[in-house]
A and B are shown apart, each in its own frame.
Chain A
Amino acid sequence: DIQMTQSPSSLSASVGDRVTITCRASQGIGNYLAWFQQKPGKAPKSLIYAASSLHSGVPSRFSGSGSGTDFTLTISSLQPEDFATYYCQQCNSYPLTFGGGTKVEIK
């Protein structure tokens, strides 16, 4: 199985900050990488697919990059509604696997 490792596991940031979250795959997955946002008590929401393509309706302050084994999710200017937990997921091979999550908290 492909292991997905996210870092950091949590971070504190202020509104307006630029935030970067990293996801590393245990083997190459091309660009078969997606990012999700989840708020407490809510279902996950899709943000990015194919490593860098924004899902419909996702604000442009979110961006994704990377290929192979190393990927990043960047929020260019953190907004109050962005405080949440973020997950990456590889869909290159089965079983599809998620990273452990990164909790973004208010500083």
Chain B
Amino acid sequence: EVQLVESGGGLVQPGGSLRLSCAASGFTFSSHWMSWVRQAPGKGLEWVANIKQDGSEKNYVGSVKGRFTISRDNAQTSLYLQMNSLTAEDTAVYYCARGVPLGYWGQGALVTVSS
């Protein structure tokens, strides 16, 4: 069974940093693109970033370029999102998801940016 479990969410002050993790199991992690998708409270879905199987290609939505970094550890079957210079507009539930197109989703991790 494919499982994706996010962790690392929480409350952070504006300008602060946070690192999200996504632990993957039930499939060959190193064979799949992986993404982060977020959803602000009461809003729709927004794709944030993705990373190729070997980490050689990364893509980002414009609003996070230069602030967020996606990475992966295939040996640990884990996906990461390093988020810096956070603002209130980054407050959202962050989901990790497998594949392009997105096939399986985690349950999400809430990130709240507030003073």
Binding site for B on A (CB under 8 A): 1, 32, 34, 36, 38, 43-46, 49-50, 55, 87, 89, 91, 94-101
Contact = CB atoms under 8 A, between A and B. Distances in A.
Interface string B78-101: 000000000000000001000011
Interface in B89-115: 95, 100-108
A49 B101 contact: yes
B66 to A, nearest CB: 14
Interface of B: 35, 37, 44-47, 50, 59-62, 95, 100-108
Nearest to B50: A96
B16 to A, nearest CB: 25
B102 A43 contact: no
B102 A98 contact: no
Contact of B105 (A45, A89, A91, A95): A45
Given A34-B101, A36-B45, A91-B100, 13 more contacts: A38-B45, A43-B95, A43-B105, A43-B106, A44-B105, A45-B105, A46-B101, A49-B101, A95-B60, A96-B35, A96-B47, A98-B44, A98-B46
B32 to A, nearest CB: 13
Nearest to B48: A95
Contact of A43 (B47, B60, B62, B107): B107
Contact of A46 (B35, B46, B104): B104
A95 to B, nearest CB: 4
A107 to B, nearest CB: 23
Given A43-B95, A91-B100, A91-B101, A98 B106 contact: no
Nearest to B44: A101
B105 A46 contact: yes
Contacts of A96: 35, 47, 50, 100
Nearest to A56: B103
A45 to B, nearest CB: 7
Contact of A89 (B47, B50, B62, B104): B47
A68 B59 CA distance: 23
Nearest to A35: B101
